[in-house]
Homo-oligomer: A and B are copies of this chain.
Amino acid sequence: MTRPSGRAADQLRAVSLETGFAKYAEGSCLVRFGDTHVLCTASVEEKVPPFLRGQGLGWVTAEYGMLPRATHSRTDREAAKGKQSGRTQEIQRLIGRALRAVTDRKAMGEIQVKIDCDVLQADGGTRTAAITGSYVALHQAFTHLMRIGVLKQIPLIDSVAAISCGIYNGQAVLDLDYAEDSNAQADANFVLTGAGGIVEIQGTAEERPFDEAQFNELLRLARHGIGQLTALQKTALGL
């Protein structure tokens, strides 16, 4: 079997995490997984949503969008249609949960960080790239809050990154691109912490149900890829 890109089964696409792309945001990271490019920004707000006020807890939330021509053929603009698709809502809820799972919301205090993930170019795996880059932007925003004296320490208990795996032509492969994603027999997104803890698993059989052995193989690949992403996150943050 050959992957369309010629990659080995356990090989990530070329990944880069470019910080500082957005001049005004408290944190920002342009993450590239091959031809998938997502701009992640972190914006600090001094107040938490109404349902949290007065509880001494912070909040991290995310929004996700895609430029109309990020895709091979043009997609209608959600702002023009007047609503976000179910897919968009699923993804932005996932990103928010992933980041909150590694945030110490008590140490954070009543501050909110809003993450915006905007896909500039899409070639599969936008949600996993978005989580991986958002962690970098969030870390930067917390660092900024330390620098200006609002926080005493970074309220993160671990790092978090995400990768997709799938069964393509009967074989488990890491980091699906669009050509693979649209023909995979199964597709799973894994969100893991730097220490190896599982934050979220979403596995879906695309055509036929899969079995436990296949699932375990996907998880093994994901651990392999996320180890590399975690290292790249550290480098990007200068840690």
Query: Which A residues have a C-beta under 8 Å from some C-beta of B?
Result: 22-25, 28, 35, 39, 41, 43, 45, 63, 65, 67-74, 77-80, 82-84, 86-90, 92-93, 97, 101-102, 114, 116, 118, 120-121, 158, 188, 192-193, 195-205, 207-212, 215, 219
Contact = CB atoms under 8 A, between A and B. Distances in A.
7 contacts: A24-B70, A24-B71, A43-B73, A45-B74, A87-B93, A198-B210, A201-B201
Given A41-B67, A65-B67, A201-B202, 6 more contacts: A22-B69, A22-B70, A74-B114, A79-B84, A198-B215, A202-B202
A43 B209 contact: no
Nearest to A188: B201
Given A93-B86, A200-B203, A205-B199, A77 B121 contact: no
A208 to B, nearest CB: 7
Binding site of A, secondary structure by majority: helix, strand, loop or mixed? mixed
